[in-house]
Chains A and B, each alone.
Chain A
Amino acid sequence: MKLKNAIVVTLLPLNILLLFFLCFSSKIVVPAWLQVSGRMHPLLLHFPIVLILLYAGWILMTPRDIKKNTWYAGIAETLLLAAAFTTVLTALTGFLLSKEQGYEETTVNWHKWLGAILSFLLFVAWTLREKIKTPALVSTSVLITTVVLLLGAHLGGNITHGENFVLAPVTKEKQKELPPLEEAEIYAHLVEPLFETKCMSCHNSNKSKGELIMTTKEELLKGGKSGKLWDTTLEDGGLLLQRLHLPLEAKKHMPPIGKPQLSPVEINLLKAWVRGGAIMDKRVIELPDGDTLKMIAASVLKKSGDETYDFEAPDERKVQQLSNNNRVITPLAMESPALAVSFYNRAFYSRKELEALQPLETQIVSLNLDNMPVKDEDLAVIARFKNIRKLILNATDITGSTLTELNKLQQLRSLSLTGTQVKAEQLKTLQTLAQLKTVYVWNTGITDQQASQLRQSHPITYYHTGFKDTVTLKITPPIIENEEFVMTKPTTLKLKHYIKGTVIRYTVDGKDPDSITSPIYDTSLKLQETGLVKARAFKPGWIGSDVVQQYFYKTTFKADTAILASDPDPSYKGKGGNTLIDLEKSDLNFRNGKWIAYHGKTITATMLFNKPANVSSIAISMIKSVNEHIFPPASIQVWGGKDKDHLTLLQTLRPDPPAKDDRDRKSIMFDSRFATREVSCIKIVLQPIPNVKPWLKDKGAQSWLFLDEVFIN
């Protein structure tokens, strides 16, 4: 009872304190420690709500026979007291909290006063509880109190959770449909919606704060009490931007503290708009490319290309069930109702597999049948997928005879028919398709002229005929497929070309093949002799290819020993003299240990036979690479005889010096032919040219000789 008495005693002073606070509201500054108790408001407020509702329920809904009991009045009294006490506490803390910044002012004011009134009402009800006994009067006052409570509490809720918090999920606000970027106007669709949501609630014809009305263009241009809203001659752009950029706490900051603020994007948008001269009457696309406002617009507005679909999403299980390795069905994106279908694997495709898609016929917007054996009659099935936007029938078996079926696809935007048999006349029947932008008809036999005729009769559609075979290019040279170039017996020459219908012509006499006189290659050709094979490819409609060439080396006798008169350069020693007679023709990588080389020195090599041989020719294989100072020898002497002391000069060759423009590294061969004679010893002497050519950078330098094999026949 002590507690009850204490509460009863404090009730009056607390309410007086509340009244005092309200009267001197503007004079009161809340110290930090009191702010803490102010912040208890959201906690305390639940007590009065519950207690008052309980009290009201107790008074209004208790059956009459229970009311006769003595304890009924006791409980009512306790409830009322508790309600009055918690209400005044809640109102006081609420007042302290209201002194903090950041709440919407009008609502807070209403909430504050309703809370105070509620507290006073309850205090009065407590004080007069003995006097008022008439049931009607009691009920009315309880009802009034409850209504005040509900109103106040509702406003409180709005302050913390925002307006329409409870119903927002079901009452979706109707958003103004903005046109796509291509059609949008700068003021009406970019700037005005922003003013509407963030400014016009205070600056309208009813409530023109600061004498500013923003609802019409004329009033907006007039400006308000402080003058015009913008002045593009000022560096900061004038009043509007100044106010937006003031710190949030500043008195003149707009929108005022507690109101919804502008997002950084919105501020940038207004900034760009004012800087650009506050254009009122242009469309966004009229702005130059790279204009800031245009770029912001591009991120704010949708593009007309962004398709929206108004049909229901498909049954997910159905999609999974119908999708497999060869018929892949995927939603365009997460949460998109639209489906894209692609068929793969020719062997899998049949009309039945297409018909199986029937449960998804509304949702398919893209169908890819590239390279499937689609037949003319299958188009009737495709025509049922009425929402198709993109249809790919490239390289299918259709002939175009049933193309009219596709007129049912009123949404069709793009149709690919490349590599099919369709004719221009058949495409004419597709003219009811109002959305059809592009038809791809490359590789169908439809000519550019037919395509432009089609376009004339149906101007919205572009018929893409693609690349035409009108250019003349040089064909690639044939490929020599032989891997072994040293022949111990007649060898088949293997040439090939990847392009069908190509004719290969060749020579073995060192001349470049031509397209008339040179023999045509066929696979029966066998090479017998050492020589240079040259080949070229020819095909009608193409320029003849470059020459491809390869030395083939016949070898009859293998020398048993080879001796070098002096050591080769230490970097290119090879396997000494043996390198020359191992019958291994090396590639052009002269560092591979299969070459021997001399720098500025004469090469003298002697080859010995255990058994005398009837020799008639000697082929020497070397490298020429002018840029690397590797030159052909100035002279080659071939000696032969019984042994190394009885040699006669069989032949002297004087190779042509290399031409100025022939500098690439390549294989060269010198074939020395002489009257057959029996020898047991052959000596070759290769003289280098004294120094490299004067047209080279280091003209004084000595030349290299590289040698890898000597073939004896």
Chain B
Amino acid sequence: MKKEILEHGLGYNRRKFLSKLSLGLGSVALGSLLIPDLFSKDPEEAVMASLPRFAPKAKRVIYLFQNGAPSQLDLFDYKPLLQKMHGEDLPASIRMGQRLTGMTSGQDKFPLAGTRFKFGEYGQARAQISELLPYTAGVVDDLCIIKTLHTEAINHDPALTFFQTGAQVGNRPSMGAWLSYGLGSENKNLPAFCVLLSKGKGNGQGVYGKLWTNGFLDSVHQGVQFSSGENPVLYLNNPDAIDKTDRRRMLDKLAELNETSYEEFGDPEIKTKIQQYEMAYRMQTAVPEITDMSKEPESIIKLYGPDCLVPGTYAANCLLARKLSESGVRFVQLYHQGWDAHDNLPGQIIGQCKDVDQASAALITDLKQRGLLDETLVIWGGEFGRTNYCQGVLTKDNYGRDHHPRCFTVWMAGGGVKPGVYGETDEFGYNIASNPVHVHDFHATMLNLMGLDHEQLIFKHLGRRYRLTDVAGNVMKDLIA
């Protein structure tokens, strides 16, 4: 049906286009060049069935993005050698001339900086976890810790964009949009892709709307950013003197008008708009139910930490993420800013960890106790890692670390991943020693867990077929339970 409407709209457009140009056959050819899908009859491409290709392990994703890049060397990837060689220069044989950022490429020395923090071994996998993350250490048996993620970009924006969209240039759909496109929304009363922002005290890097963009996909797949105040979705309440029936009548009338203009112009975005108004109407009842934290028992507040009731904090976003996910939101994307510790890293990272540690672990525990962890994939990590050498002045217990794309740690939990520690970096923590996982591989694996084949989740745009993994990516079967 949708297809027919689309065809009708496009057909009308085409007639108009041709009559305006009045160039006969030549313009038909031109028309098909300008709008390549105009004569496409392939129904499968036009309307992608919103169903997983095979039985999914996970139905939903909660992505706890640690924006700014946390230092893997101070949190997960313990390297005693760095402590032993603290202050010594990074051997050239390890760096192998690999590129650096402009911030440290001018340094004449690259003094190795051993972590100031103590590590302990936790869980069945004897995972090394820093004293900064005691709560995370408590749920380690549910975590799949990947120490060997690596990326291509070396600066925040491209790396972040690459992680979110599979390309460094910001015009592709974000992974949440791809999932929304591939699987549709579970709960039609809420957006399929929600974005929650929070900020730590550490050196921060911006996040922008392009990170949750729908790119060239239909704009219903765009991430919906929740505001960090007490009203996460603004303007959701009816204004004074307008009740539910009035609102309904107004929307019906508006839809009629929109239909008329759709018939005239045939712009599919008008259809999207009608859908969005309808969803906003349904959100008027669904959202207050979700953002109402008053029914959460006290044990939940203790689990997530008392911050979880303070709007705009990471803990509050974690709790909200659970509620959204529980209500069928396909992809909840959190960003916590403040991990970009180029100097005074120990001081900054303590605060950042305090912000996120308890609530991240609480999310795992909470999903687990509700029987939801096995169908929810939780991911924690930044856009790249940090260097093993010091940026700026190194003292006995203070150092800064620059960007390091060649290895960093990300953990996943629930949703059919195999708990344990995957991959090894070399003893300097600079290069990968075994089992590398590229960002594309990571995307492919995530889609696979959701029941999608990354090679088949395709959208044709401007004459070329696009994927989240573009032309790369392997599913990391080792990580799948």
- B-binding residues in A (CB < 8 A): 295, 298-299, 306-307, 325-326, 328, 330-334, 336, 342, 344-347, 370-371, 390, 392, 394, 414-416, 418-419, 438, 440, 442-443, 464-469, 471, 473-476, 479, 498-500, 541-542
Is B97 close to A, CB under 8 A?
Answer: no
**A342-B369 in contact (CB<8A):** no
**B309-A498 in contact (CB<8A):** yes
| Alpha-carbon separation in the docked complex, A90 to B306 (Å) | 89
In the complex, the chain B residue whose C-beta lies closest to that of A368 is B328
Q: Determine, out of B31-39, B85-93, B184-192, the stretch whose residues face the partner at the interface.
A: B184-192
Cross-interface CB contact of B54 among A334, A394, A468, A479, cutoff 8 Å:
A334
Cross-interface CB contact of B369 among A333, A467, A474, A498, cutoff 8 Å:
A467
Q: Mask for B362-381, Cβ within 8 A of A = 1, else 0?
A: 10011011111000000000
Q: Determine, out of B207-215, B258-266, B292-300, the stretch whose residues face the partner at the interface.
A: B292-300
Q: Closest CB of chain B to A35's CB: distance in Å?
A: 39
**A418-B306 in contact (CB<8A):** no
**B366-A440 in contact (CB<8A):** no
Q: Mask for B465-481, Cβ within 8 A of A = 1, else 0?
A: 00000000000011000
Is B51 close to A, CB under 8 A?
Answer: yes
**A334-B49 in contact (CB<8A):** yes
**B370-A418 in contact (CB<8A):** yes
Q: Determine which residue in A346, A414, A438, A466 has the highest number of CB atoms from chain B within 10 A of its CB, and name it.
A: A466
6 contacts between A and B (CB under 8 A): A333-B54, A334-B52, A371-B327, A466-B369, A467-B369, A471-B302
Q: Closest CB of chain B to A700's CB: distance in Å?
A: 19
In the complex, the chain A residue whose C-beta lies closest to that of B477 is A299
Q: Mask for B349-370, Cβ within 8 A of A = 1, else 0?
A: 0000000000000100110111
In the complex, the chain A residue whose C-beta lies closest to that of B374 is A414
**A333-B371 in contact (CB<8A):** no
Q: Mask for B221-233, Cβ within 8 A of A = 1, else 0?
A: 0000000000000
| Alpha-carbon separation in the docked complex, A500 to B298 (Å) | 9
**B477-A466 in contact (CB<8A):** no
Contact residues in B for A331 (Cβ distance below 8 Å): 51
Contact residues in B for A334 (Cβ distance below 8 Å): 49, 51-54
| Alpha-carbon separation in the docked complex, A475 to B301 (Å) | 10
Contact residues in A for B302 (Cβ distance below 8 Å): 469, 471, 473
A440-B51 contact given A370-B326, A499-B301, CB 8 Å threshold: no
Closest 10 A/B residue pairs (Cβ): A466-B369, A498-B309, A469-B299, A416-B371, A442-B369, A440-B371, A325-B188, A476-B306, A333-B52, A333-B55
Q: Determine, out of B63-71, B246-254, B282-290, B384-392, the stretch whose residues face the partner at the interface.
A: B282-290
**A467-B303 in contact (CB<8A):** yes
**B187-A328 in contact (CB<8A):** yes
Tell me which residues from 427 to 481 in chain B have a Cβ below 8 Å from any Cβ of chain A.
Answer: 451, 477-478
Contact residues in B for A392 (Cβ distance below 8 Å): 371
A333-B53 contact given A347-B285, A443-B299, CB 8 Å threshold: yes
Q: Closest CB of chain B to A589's CB: distance in Å?
A: 15
Chain B interface residue count, CB cutoff 8 Å, equals 41
| Alpha-carbon separation in the docked complex, A423 to B198 (Å) | 40
**A394-B286 in contact (CB<8A):** no
Is B158 close to A, CB under 8 A?
Answer: no
Is B7 close to A, CB under 8 A?
Answer: no
Cross-interface CB contact of B189 among A330, A336, A344, cutoff 8 Å:
A344
Is B346 close to A, CB under 8 A?
Answer: no
**B187-A467 in contact (CB<8A):** no
Q: A344-B286, A438-B371 are in contact. List 18 more A-B contacts (CB 8 A).
A: A295-B477, A299-B477, A325-B282, A328-B186, A330-B51, A330-B186, A332-B55, A333-B451, A334-B52, A416-B370, A418-B369, A418-B371, A443-B297, A443-B299, A469-B302, A473-B302, A475-B306, A499-B309
Cross-interface CB contact of A442 among B52, B186, B370, cutoff 8 Å:
B370
**B305-A473 in contact (CB<8A):** yes
**B370-A468 in contact (CB<8A):** no
A466-B189 contact given A295-B478, A332-B55, A344-B286, CB 8 Å threshold: no
Q: Closest CB of chain B to A127's CB: distance in Å?
A: 60
Contact residues in A for B306 (Cβ distance below 8 Å): 473-476, 499, 542
Is B123 close to A, CB under 8 A?
Answer: no
Is B307 close to A, CB under 8 A?
Answer: yes
Q: Closest CB of chain A to B138's CB: distance in Å?
A: 11
Is B56 close to A, CB under 8 A?
Answer: yes
| Alpha-carbon separation in the docked complex, A332 to B328 (Å) | 15
Contact residues in B for A464 (Cβ distance below 8 Å): 368-369, 371
| Alpha-carbon separation in the docked complex, A541 to B298 (Å) | 10
| Alpha-carbon separation in the docked complex, A97 to B477 (Å) | 45
**B310-A342 in contact (CB<8A):** no
Q: Closest CB of chain A to B295's CB: distance in Å?
A: 8
Contact residues in A for B286 (Cβ distance below 8 Å): 344-345
Contact residues in B for A467 (Cβ distance below 8 Å): 299, 303, 362, 365-366, 369
A306-B186 contact given A346-B289, A440-B371, A469-B299, CB 8 Å threshold: no
Contact residues in B for A295 (Cβ distance below 8 Å): 477-478
**B55-A328 in contact (CB<8A):** no
In the complex, the chain B residue whose C-beta lies closest to that of A330 is B51
In the complex, the chain B residue whose C-beta lies closest to that of A415 is B371
| Alpha-carbon separation in the docked complex, A479 to B352 (Å) | 21
Contact residues in B for A471 (Cβ distance below 8 Å): 302
Contact residues in B for A416 (Cβ distance below 8 Å): 370-372
In the complex, the chain A residue whose C-beta lies closest to that of B286 is A345
Contact residues in A for B307 (Cβ distance below 8 Å): 476
Q: Determine which residue in A414, A468, A471, A499 has the highest number of CB atoms from chain B within 10 A of its CB, and name it.
A: A499
Contact residues in A for B54 (Cβ distance below 8 Å): 333-334
| Alpha-carbon separation in the docked complex, A419 to B372 (Å) | 14
| Alpha-carbon separation in the docked complex, A442 to B299 (Å) | 10
Q: Closest CB of chain A to B417's CB: distance in Å?
A: 13
**A345-B285 in contact (CB<8A):** yes
In the complex, the chain A residue whose C-beta lies closest to that of B326 is A370
Cross-interface CB contact of A394 among B305, B309, B370, cutoff 8 Å:
B370
Contact residues in A for B309 (Cβ distance below 8 Å): 476, 498-499
Contact residues in A for B305 (Cβ distance below 8 Å): 473
Q: Closest CB of chain B to A167's CB: distance in Å?
A: 30
Contact residues in A for B326 (Cβ distance below 8 Å): 370-371
| Alpha-carbon separation in the docked complex, A467 to B366 (Å) | 8
In the complex, the chain A residue whose C-beta lies closest to that of B299 is A469
| Alpha-carbon separation in the docked complex, A471 to B305 (Å) | 10
| Alpha-carbon separation in the docked complex, A178 to B368 (Å) | 32
| Alpha-carbon separation in the docked complex, A306 to B186 (Å) | 22
In the complex, the chain A residue whose C-beta lies closest to that of B293 is A498
**A298-B301 in contact (CB<8A):** no
| Alpha-carbon separation in the docked complex, A344 to B189 (Å) | 8
Cross-interface CB contact of B55 among A307, A414, A475, cutoff 8 Å:
A307
**A342-B370 in contact (CB<8A):** no
| Alpha-carbon separation in the docked complex, A418 to B326 (Å) | 13
**B282-A342 in contact (CB<8A):** no
Contact residues in A for B49 (Cβ distance below 8 Å): 334
**B303-A333 in contact (CB<8A):** no
In the complex, the chain B residue whose C-beta lies closest to that of A545 is B306
| Alpha-carbon separation in the docked complex, A476 to B306 (Å) | 6
Contact residues in B for A394 (Cβ distance below 8 Å): 370-371
**A440-B189 in contact (CB<8A):** no
Cross-interface CB contact of B477 among A298, A438, A541, cutoff 8 Å:
A298
In the complex, the chain B residue whose C-beta lies closest to that of A332 is B55
A345-B189 contact given A418-B369, A442-B369, CB 8 Å threshold: yes
Q: Closest CB of chain B to A599's CB: distance in Å?
A: 24
| Alpha-carbon separation in the docked complex, A392 to B375 (Å) | 12
Q: Closest CB of chain B to A228's CB: distance in Å?
A: 33
Q: Closest CB of chain B to A82's CB: distance in Å?
A: 46
| Alpha-carbon separation in the docked complex, A328 to B301 (Å) | 31
**B289-A498 in contact (CB<8A):** no
Q: Closest CB of chain A to B52's CB: distance in Å?
A: 5
**B298-A469 in contact (CB<8A):** yes
Q: Closest CB of chain A to B449's CB: distance in Å?
A: 13
Contact residues in B for A474 (Cβ distance below 8 Å): 306
**B368-A342 in contact (CB<8A):** no
